[in-house]
Structure 1
Amino acid sequence: MSTSTPARPADIESSLFPSSSSHDQPITDFFSDNDEDHIFFKDSNPNSIPSPRQVLRICLNLKYLIDQLIPIAYDSSAVLAADSEILTPKVLRLVYEAAGGEGYGAPGTSSRKYRSCLVFALLKVSGWFEELSVTEIHDCDLYLLRSETAQYLAAVIIEKEKNIRYLFHMLTHKFVVNLNLVNSEPSNVLELAVDMHSTRVIGSEGFQRCVKWLWKGWIVQSDVNPACFVVYKDSGVNSFRTHFDPGRLKTPLYQNILEVVFSLVYLGLYTLIVNQSEKHLQPLSVTEAGFFLFTVSFILDELIKVYHVGVASVLQSFWNMFNDFMYLMIAGAMCLRFVALNSMVPDFAESTDRSSYRLLALVAPFMWIRLLLFLDVERFVGVMIIIVKEMMRESIIFFFLLITVIIGFLQGFLSLDSSDGERTSTYLIVTELLKGVLGGGDLNSFNHFVYPYSSILYYSYTFLIQVILINILVALFSSAYSKIYSNSIDEYMALFTQKVLRYSRAPDAQVYVPPLNIIEIFISPLSFILSESQFRQLNDHIMLVIYSPFLLYVAISETRTARKISYNRLRQLADDANEYNREWDLTDGYVDGEGHDGNMNHVSRDLREQREAEAEDPWFSVGKFWIAEVNNISKINTNEALTSVEEVKNQARLDKLESKIDRLTKLIEKMAEDKSD
């Protein structure tokens, strides 16, 4: 093209071809030749992290700071606002200095070491304030505000930390705090934030970025030190054989895919069984045997959870109780089926077999609802699950009131029934009371039973249930729905984080997803015969065989991802840069299926053709003055917004002052009138 290209200002170049992403930051300090294990913090050893006593002192310093910062219960919107006059940059500096040490947070200094636990300490302090809000009810609002302030400061520290190596160390390393002369269980920020349901911290960008790396398996737990997390060192290796590794099955993403696949197979087997219509007793089929084998493997997996975690921890999870109840029903159907197959009495065998089939048919709703446990990674499904779960939690109040009311009226009706010396209508009383709860009660049922006392009592019961308690339940459900849906994004991120930690919080040494865990149980006695390394190699070979089809998918997927990671590292970007191809960014450049040079040439060619097309008309360029005016508009709008906020605050202060003056004037006038009287 012969048309000359006019000079192009650098500011226009940067505005039209941006690379403005928080992920597009250099990784030269993230991977170092000196870091053989790719540990986040190169001083990650027991002597380079705060001791339990030091963590306690940092927590106490932060609590003292927040106590002095929030002496009274302010309006939370004024304290936690972006332009807060209370949480100023000076306060943030004091938070950093609360960790002590020398060097002002510079790399290699002691302050850098102590500040690594600041987010953990702030969450711990937030938990202390929540405990005080429960025990010190008279200052509940004050302590809750202090708790929210601690979480807000923790989120600010996460957002301000730009070194992802150090940030991931802060979030994933497990710290210990000395409480009442006893060291606590090691815990990290990820676990603590999920346990506290701190959506403010969970919703921060750096936190979610760390969770995404865990989900994809780019961050894994160290085999040497379980308290540390390390970067998967082969994430950028373009070798199919490297990624065809059973160890990659520890990745939460792959475990979730396996669970979904096996759950669909489990559901398919169940559907084939319940859709069979055999009139007489039939022998055990291959489909039934496979379905029962799946069920046994799931029950064994639940028993292992109970053994390692405890009954109380398992019962705290709604999904665990849901699954356990479903497995109990299937186990009952299995027992009836085996009894029928081994019975020598034909009639008894036939009736028992029908009972087994009917009990199994009742499991159908549970089987389908169970799929939601694995589909909650999708935002829509996840939010709906959270809403239903919150509604069920809120309904506890309703059921407590309902049970109390039913017991009271049941006792009254039974007393009326026995008033003539004998009790003959117990079945009628119980069924009608239950029908009244479900809206199917008959007001004429008690006209011939101790009339008119029973009718008056039943009318009162119906009014109390249908008019008062049902409306209370509707109000509770509406409140739960609005509370969750208005904060649905943060709630979904909390649910997703909890799901990721479910896989990585206490990962198995070898991943045998049910029903394959039966293989692990059969070979477990060999651990007493073989050495640890030999037993590990045996497990690796077994998993390589049974998971080979899925490992083929893993290797292909990770090899494609490795090409993108290698491309990002060539451009000195973070591994998760260019995750999505943005239409307005002509410099992201990655095209799947091309080599490194092909990608670079693609970017250069695209930019060159764009410049040539724009240079066809020398007057087409907007010029540097237009860019300057646009930037000036942004500054003006920002200043005006800040000014308007200050004006609103000043007006609020004036209104409050005028209100106080009016009250004082009325008080003086009243005192003068009383004195004159």
Structure 2
Amino acid sequence: MARWWWQGRGQELSASVHDHLEALLPHDPPIAQPVPPKAVTIVALRLKYQLEAVIPCELPIDEITRSHSHIITKYVVKTAANAGGDEHRACVVFALLIVKKWFKAQAGRELWDADVHNARATACEVIAKQIIETEDDMAYLLGEVLLKRYSIVEGGEDTKPANVVERAVDLHALTVIGSSGYQKCISHLWRGWLVQDGDDPSRFVDYRKKVDTRFWAHFDPDRMRVPRYQNMVQILMSLIYLVLYSFAVNTINPTGDLDIVEGLLYLFTLGFVCDELSKLWKVGIYYISFWNTFNSTLYALLAVSFITRMIALSHDVHSGQRKRFNEMSYNFLAFSAPLFWGRLCLYLDTFRFFGVMMVVMKVMMRESIIFFAMLFIILVGFLQAFVGLDQVDNNVTAVSFVVKSMLNAIMTSPDFDGFDNYAPPFGLILYYLYTFVVMVVLLNILIALYNSAYADITDNAADEYMALFAQKTMQFVRAPDENVFIAPFNLVEIFGLVIPFEWWMSRKTYARVNDYVMAGIYSPLLLVTAFMEKRQAFAVHSNRRRGAEEDDVVEPWEELEGECDFKDDGWAERVEGSKPNLEVGAAVREVGKLRDEVRELKKLILELKGDERDGN
């Protein structure tokens, strides 16, 4: 496969005419000078001053977010857009997100003015969205506004550079994420139409070959950096991982010997563990989340299963110890089945239904922390009371019974019979009180928290899904590896490339070796992606020829749109005369009509008075 890839490279170089024509076209924009962090900070301070003047007191959020708001008017948006002047106009949206972060932090510290600060933070998002959606120059919007990295001054030092796309994901700015320009940017990143510059990874440039209709031009291992293709490989590996587990858990080896399926299963697990550890090493403690903990639990169970299997193999074939450890290994393996199937949801969140449900579950888990904190305190208090009642006779014998009964009550299955003779009447009364607190009070609080979380997410289901999709895209784009080896292929990188070659081989040669290996590993998938990109190139070429956007899709209602001339047939004039004026409310329109009528009445009265004076 590597030979085919280099043949494709040769074919690409032989297309000299195409290359000469491409050389005549404009390529990447020249590298712009970075904006000084101090200048960005001054722009943010200007915007903060403006927002404090525009929203001086508590206002309903609906008045700020609704279309044609009388608070965030077009004049307010225009003023904010000019906060950086002509020189620093591109950093205004980034500065607005910084101001939003400031207002959110201020709302947490100044609870007496939290509503005001939260309203100002919402206004920052609304203004940023309108600035994004009113920008006509798409190249400028993507390259300078959304993807260019900026810094501010904090504590006398420059912060780590970030762009609008990253900052919006970090701040969970749903309004900005839901803007059309932002989503177009995410779409281009997901498809690989915007890629990081090889010379400067902080810059994003257009993928030049997206209009190249040659098949072998797209057979490139570097394209595995594209988020869409990485996600495809992850889903494929997860399905294979699940199939291996299903075969392993349903084909038990009584002798305890490892077969090929189980060997591959544990090999996959090792690759996933190495991938998690490498990401934790690079990102730090902030990498730990619900899904990392979920995966780590699964990998820990499989590690215990593997270790007990190795212990079993160390004993004689017909010994009882080998049988016992072998059974224990399979028990751990079977016990992890729910985690295996639940893990699949992590890679299906690109589909809208699964994505929204993942957000709901994430919020529910966060809300559960309040419940479990209160439950822990109550459990400890009642457990101490029950143990105290049991040790009155200096003989503690019922601890296991008490713990089991308390846990049954949490699972809504209390057992009152066992407390009839437990330090009567205190034991039974105490258990009744515990059951009431747990089942009636705490569990209903948990249900209310879950209902609130579900309602909040489903009301904003579309925005939440777009935010999740943007976050997933940025996970692939942010600080990507120079050579993409997706688990379990990372084992090939670790033991086949890094350890034997990286420490002594020149960087150029090592990169070439990586290209050979990646071409061989991903060649079946690259054949598919090259075919997809070739078809996509024809569509892009057709859209450019029509003068449309590169990702434009001709809808049924657009097919005959060019044959309609609504101005000549009078339809546009009729529509213009009948459409409502959304910028002015109904009450304001009626008051305006009344004012015109009063003005006419006043004019008539003045005319009558003038006629009377002339008659006299």
Within 5 Å, give how 1:382-461 maps onto structure 2.
382-461=355-434
Query: What is the TM-score of this pair, normalised by structure 2?
Result: 0.89
* Pair 1:82 & 2:67 matched: yes
- Tell me the equivalent position of 1:71: 56
2:351 corresponds, among 378, 383, 387, to 378
SS at the partner of 2:205? strand
Q: Is residue 540 of structure 2 the alignment partner of residue 565 of structure 1? A: yes
User: Which of 238, 249, 265 is equivalent to 1:291?
Assistant: 265
Q: Which residue of 2 aligns with 1:638?
A: 580
Deviation digits for residues 629-655 of structure 1 (CA, Å, limit 9, x no counterpart)? 4643354332378341636999xxxxx
Deviates more, 1:498-507 or 1:387-396: 387-396
Distance 1:455 1:181, change over 3 A: same
In structure 2, the partner of 1:164 is 138
1:333 to 305, 309, 316: 305
Structure 2 CA distance, aligned partners of 1:513 and 1:623?
A: 54
Answer whether contact 2:389 2:423 (CA < 8 A) is retained: yes
Gaps of 5+ in 2: 1-21, 593-616
Offset, 1:511: 0.8
Contact 1:175 1:188 in 2 (8 A): yes
Give the whole-Å Cα distance in 2 for the aligned partners of 1:180 and 1:35: 42
Of 466, 481, 499, the residue aligned with 2:454 is: 481
Structure having the higher helix fraction is: 2
Partner of 1:445, secondary structure, is helix
Q: 1:628 aligns with which of 555, 570, 574?
A: 570
Amino acid at match of 1:65: Q
Which residue of the partner structure matches residue 326 of structure 2? 353
2:608 corresponds in structure 1 to none
Aligned residues: 567
Matched, 1:323 2:310: no
Shift of 1:570: 1.9
- What one-letter code is carried by the residue in structure 2 that aligns with 1:402? L
34 and 54 in structure 1: CA distance in 2 versus 1, 3 angstrom threshold? farther
Give the Å deviation of 1:395. Answer: 1.6
Q: How far apart are residue 385 of structure 1 and its match? A: 1.2
CA shift for structure 1 position 90: 2.0
Structure 1 residue 241 displacement after superposition: 1.1
**Superposition CA RMSD, Å:** 2.1
Distance 1:572 1:118, change over 3 A: same
Secondary structure of 2:580 counterpart: helix
Aligned pair 1:249/2:227, yes or no?
no
Q: Distance in 1 between matches of 2:510 and 2:582?
A: 69
CA contact (8 A) 1:314 1:321 kept: no
Aligned position for 1:44: 31
* 8 Å CA contact 1:323, 1:370 repeated in 2: yes
Partner residue in 2 for 1:618: none
The question of whether the paired residues in 1 share the 8 Å contact of 2:271 and 2:491 is answered with yes
> Aligned with 1:220: secondary structure?
strand
| Cα shift at 1:78 | 1.9
Unaligned runs of 5+ residues in structure 1 are 1-30, 101-110, 589-606, 612-620, 651-677
Helix, strand or coil at the partner of 2:195: strand
* Aligned positions of 1:188-207 closer than 5 A: 188-207=163-182
Cα distance in 1 between the residues matched to 2:102 and 2:188: 30
Cα distance, 1:444 vs. partner?
A: 1.4
Q: Supply the AA of the counterpart residue of 1:520.
A: E
Distance (Å, rounded) in 1 between the aligned partners of 2:276 and 2:63: 47
Match of 2:552 in 1: 577
Q: Equivalent residue for 1:13?
A: none
User: Does the residue aligned with 1:370 lie in a helix, a strand or coil?
Assistant: helix
Residue 390 of structure 2: SS of its match in structure 1? Answer: helix
AA paired with 2:426?
Y
Percent identity over the alignment is: 36
The Cα shift of 1:319 comes to 1.1
Q: Distance in 2 between matches of 1:341 and 1:587?
A: 74
Q: What is the DSSP-based 3-state SS (H/G/I as helix, E as strand, rest coil) of the residue aligned with 1:441?
A: coil
Paired with 1:93 and 1:261, the residues of 2 have a C-alpha distance of 48
AA at the equivalent of 1:134: G
Preserved CA contact (<8 Å) 2:241 2:265: yes
CA drift of 1:577 comes to 1.6
| Alpha-carbon distance in structure 2 between the residues aligned to 1:641 and 1:182 | 44
**Change in CA separation of 1:623 and 1:252 when aligned onto 2, cut-off 3 Å:** closer
Residue 320 of structure 1 and its aligned partner are, at CA, apart by 1.1
Closer/same/farther in 2, CA of residues 352 and 70 from structure 1, 3 Å limit: same
Further displaced range: 84-93 or 157-166: 84-93
**Mapping for residues 253-272 of structure 1, pairs under 5 Å:** 253-272=228-247
SS in 2 for 1:509: coil
SS of aligned partner of 2:71: coil
Tell me whether 294-303 or 334-343 shows the greater mean CA deviation.
334-343
Quick one: distance in 2 between partners of 1:640 and 1:469?
48
2:12 alignment counterpart: none
Alignment CA distance shift 1:252-1:645 (3 Å): farther
What is the correspondence of 1:512-591 to structure 2 with a 5 Å cutoff? 512-522=485-495, 523-525=497-499, 526-578=501-553, 581-586=554-559
Residue 43 of structure 1 deviates from its aligned partner by 4.4
User: Partners in 1 of 2:546 and 2:585 — Cα distance?
Assistant: 42
Contact in 1 for aligned 2:190/2:473 (Cα 8 Å): yes
Amino acid at match of 1:384: M
User: CA deviation digits over 1:564-602, x for unaligned, max 9?
Assistant: 111122223221122xx41222269xxxxxxxxxxxxxx
Aligned twin of 2:211: 236
2:475 to 502, 505, 508: 502
1:209 aligns with 2:184: yes
| Residue 443 (structure 2) aligns with | 470
Residue aligned with 1:116, SS: helix
